[in-house]
Amino acid sequence: MEIKNFIKIYDEVLPWNVLSNLIRFANFSKFEKTLIGGGDESKIDFNIRRTYTFVLSNLNNSISNVHWFNLLHSYFNKNLKQYKFDANILDYDYKDIFDIEILKYENTGFYTWHVDHFAGIPRTMSCILLLNNDYEGGNICFRNPDGSGEWEVEVKPNRMIIWPSNFLYPHTVKPVTKGIRYSVVAWAL
């Protein structure tokens, strides 16, 4: 069994007009430097991750923020259910989507090799929705846990990538060399 078989790709996830409105929303959002780690150990380290985050929440005071959280939550849930079927996983369930964030990678933005599950936040599934492709670099790559077999996911707007968050799925975002890369990330517990 290849671990690569548990990385699933879904295209044209959102209606195109919704994707366009989401990108417009992202363009006018106020992003903050992205933390690494969790809880008391969270910190900003641009040697590990040079990205900016805009957190979406259904508890936000902004009706636009709540709208995008609820809408994207439904699309992530729909595709996570499809993932369970496509990956032929019999004994898998998740409680809920834990977090939804819009990420902005500017020129030289990147994230070094990492996995999404750690003791502070025991994520089970990871999801990325690629919003645009009018940038260069910034590709997401996966490799085997022993460091061998690196492969790249082709960049396409409106493409969702879903995979288990555990140690078997180290991944990276290569540096953006031109333009701005937008994506939405979500994790399930």
CB 184 within 8 A of CB 26: no
Contact 109, 175 (CB under 8 A): yes
163 close to 125: Cβ distance less than 8 angstroms: yes
pLDDT tens column, 103-158:
999 999 999 999 999 888 889 999 999 999 999 999 999 999 999 999 999 999 99
Q: How far is CA 158 from CA 13, 14, 61, 133, in A?
A: 6, 6, 27, 9
Looking at the DSSP bridge assignments, the partners of residue 136 are 178
Predicted model pTM? 0.95
pLDDT digits (tens, 9 = 90+) for 52-86: 999 999 999 999 999 999 999 999 999 999 999 99
Rounded Cα–Cα distance for residues 64 and 58 (Å): 10
Question: Tokens for 156?
Answer: 């396409």
User: Helical H runs in the chain?
Assistant: 16-27, 63-86
